[in-house]
Structure 1
C-alpha cells in the first residue's frame, strides 16, 4: 500500500516572500500563518509575517537572521501541512530534516504546535547568543571529495543528501579557503543562506542553554510515524534531546529515504519553501518505480497553481 509522506526541510531552504501568493489568496494558509505569528508575538515580541512579506525584502536578499528565519520556516511548513490536510491530503508519515523536524514532529502529533514553535524560537536565541558566525556549502560531488580536496581540514560533513550531493559546515572565516579548494578542483558548489555552521561542532556552545529550556517541553506518542534523518530511523517517541540532535548530527537524507522505501512505496509531498527535498528525491528514487514527487512552493512562483493541481489530482491511484 502506498504511503503519503510529508517532507519538511530546514535552514538553507528559506527566502523572503516565500509562500506569499498562498498567504494572500488561500484563506486557510493565511489563517494558520496569522495564528502562528500571534504565537511568535507572544513568545518573542515581534512579527515574522511583517518582515517576511515586507515589500522592501526582495527574494534575492539574504534571509539569515535566525530570530526571523527559524520561526518563518516552521510557520510556512506547518501552515502548508494544515492547508493540505484541510483539503483532504493527509500524511501517513512525516519526514523532517534538521529544523524541519520541529514542524514534522508537530504535524505528526508528538508535540503541541505552540511548544514546538517555542523550541524553535529558543533554539534561535541560544545559537545567536552563544555561537560564532558560520557557513554551510552544498557540494555537487561524491563525498570522496571531502577527503580528496582536504575539506576535512577546514570543515565538517554536515549532510549527505544523495550520491552526488553533500553539505559541509565551517566557521565563516574559512569560507574563502573552502571555496578556493573547491574551485581549484573544478567542483560545483553553492553557499547556503545560513548564518551558522549547523550540524557541526561549531554550534556546540548553544547546546547547554537550549537543553535547559528543552527540559520544559512535553511530548508524547505521535499520531503518525516520524522519520528522523539524523538517525535514518522511524520514531515512535521523541528522545529527550531530539530537538537538539536534529540540528547537530549530520543529516542522512538518502539513508532515511532508503530505509523508508524498504518498507513502503511512498508518494512524497515537499512542504519546504524551495522544493529542495523533492529535487533530492528525483536523484534518489529509481525512475521505474514511478514515484509521485510533489513540491508546492518554489522561489520561482506559481505556488497557487501547484497547490491546486495537487489537490485536484489527489488521491493518486494505487497502481500509478
Structure 2
C-alpha cells in the first residue's frame, strides 16, 4: 500500500491563545530557533517582541488573546515554526492548506511567499482594517447551519463559515452580534465569541477593499514547491493568483468543500499545524465513512505537545 500524502493544515484568527507552543519553545531547538528568528523580524516591523507577549509569565492559556494585529503575527510565527520543526524531524508536506489567516503560513511553508514578507503583509492587513473597517467580531454557533436563515441572525450578520453539519460561524458588528447572542441564549443554543476584532469574511471587510488589494499586490509571490489548497475557493494552486489573499480575508471559509474535493481524489494524512487543533476537530465530522485518511495534530490548549510531536514524527 502506498503511504498517504501529508497535508499540513493551518488555522487562522480565533485559534490563538497565550503560551501556545510553549513546551516546544522550551524543549525543541528548531521550533525555538524559528520563533526567535521570526521574532527578530517582527520586532523591526511592530516595535515589540511577539515571543515575549505570547510567553508572558503573567498570562495564562485561558486569558483572551485578541490583540490585533499582534495575534495575527503570533499565529503565523507559531504555525511556521511548528512546520519547520516537523520538517527537521523528516515530516514533510505534500500539500498545504490554509483557513483564513492560516493561508499565510500555508503559502510560506509551500515556498510561494517568504516568511518575512508574510509577517509584513499580516501587519499591513491588520492596520488597513483598523483604519477602514468598523469594529466587529465573529460568533461560532453549535447548531445546524439552517439556523442562520432565521431573520434574527441573517439580518444582523453574514455567514462566514460552515464547518460541519452542526457548527457554523457568523460575522458582524459588535452591537448586532450582541443581539444574535441574546437570540441564541433564548433558544439555549451554545455559541462562542471568537477572539477577533473585525468581522472577517463578511460585507464589513468591503470598506477596506481597495487598500487591502493594494497591500496584497505589493506581496511578492512565486511558484509553490508543493500545491496550496485554498479554503476560500476550495481550489488547489501551484502558483497563487494575484487576488488570492483578498479572497482569503473576504470570502466565506469553504473548508468542508475543500476536504470533499480532496477526499474524492485519494486519502490523505491531515496534520493540523494550528495552535488549537481546530481543523483536526472539524475533520472528524467531515471525513466520509470508511475513509482511509488519518488525522493528526501537535499543538493544543490542553497541553501534551511534546508527546504529540514525538507521536507524529515517529509515525
**Is TM > 0.5 for Structure 1 vs Structure 2?**
yes
Secondary structure, in 3 states, of the residue corresponding to 2:245?
helix
Structure 2: gaps spanning 5 or more residues: none
- Are 2:164 and 1:182 equivalent residues in the alignment? no
Match of 1:73 in 2: 75
Q: Decide whether the 8 Å contact of 1:154 with 1:174 is kept in 2.
A: yes
Which residue among 138, 153, 157 is the counterpart of 1:155? 157
Shift of 1:143: 1.5
For residues 70 and 115 of structure 1, the distance between their equivalents in structure 2, rounded to whole angstroms, comes to 14
For residues 266 and 94 of structure 2, the distance between their equivalents in structure 1, rounded to whole angstroms, comes to 11
Secondary structure, in 3 states, of the residue corresponding to 2:195?
coil
1:118-267 alignment runs, 5 A limit: 118-148=120-150, 150-267=152-269
Shift of 1:160: 1.1
Q: Decide whether the 8 Å contact of 2:152 with 2:180 is kept in 1.
A: no
Q: Decide whether the 8 Å contact of 2:140 with 2:167 is kept in 1.
A: yes
Match of 1:316 in 2: none
For residues 181 and 104 of structure 1, the distance between their equivalents in structure 2, rounded to whole angstroms, comes to 37
Shift of 1:207: 2.6
Shift of 1:287: 4.6
Structure 1: gaps spanning 5 or more residues: 314-320
Sort the Cα spacing of 1:230 and 1:100 in 2 relative to 1 into closer, same or farther, 3 A: same
Q: State the Cα RMSD in Å.
A: 1.3
User: Bigger shift: 90-99 or 138-147?
Assistant: 138-147
- Count how many residue pairs are aligned between Structure 1 and Structure 2: 313
Instruction: Provide runs of 4+ in structure 1 moved above 3 Å.
Output: none
For residues 225 and 212 of structure 1, the distance between their equivalents in structure 2, rounded to whole angstroms, comes to 25
For residues 149 and 306 of structure 1, the distance between their equivalents in structure 2, rounded to whole angstroms, comes to 44
Shift of 1:189: 1.4
Which residue among 30, 33, 36 is the counterpart of 1:31? 33
Secondary structure, in 3 states, of the residue corresponding to 1:124?
helix
User: Bigger shift: 72-81 or 169-178?
Assistant: 169-178
For residues 19 and 240 of structure 2, the distance between their equivalents in structure 1, rounded to whole angstroms, comes to 32
For residues 45 and 178 of structure 2, the distance between their equivalents in structure 1, rounded to whole angstroms, comes to 37
Secondary structure, in 3 states, of the residue corresponding to 1:288?
coil
Deviation track 1:188-221 (CA, whole Å, cap 9, x = no partner) reads 2111111111101112223322322322222121
Shift of 1:154: 0.5
Shift of 1:177: 0.8
User: Bigger shift: 210-219 or 114-123?
Assistant: 210-219
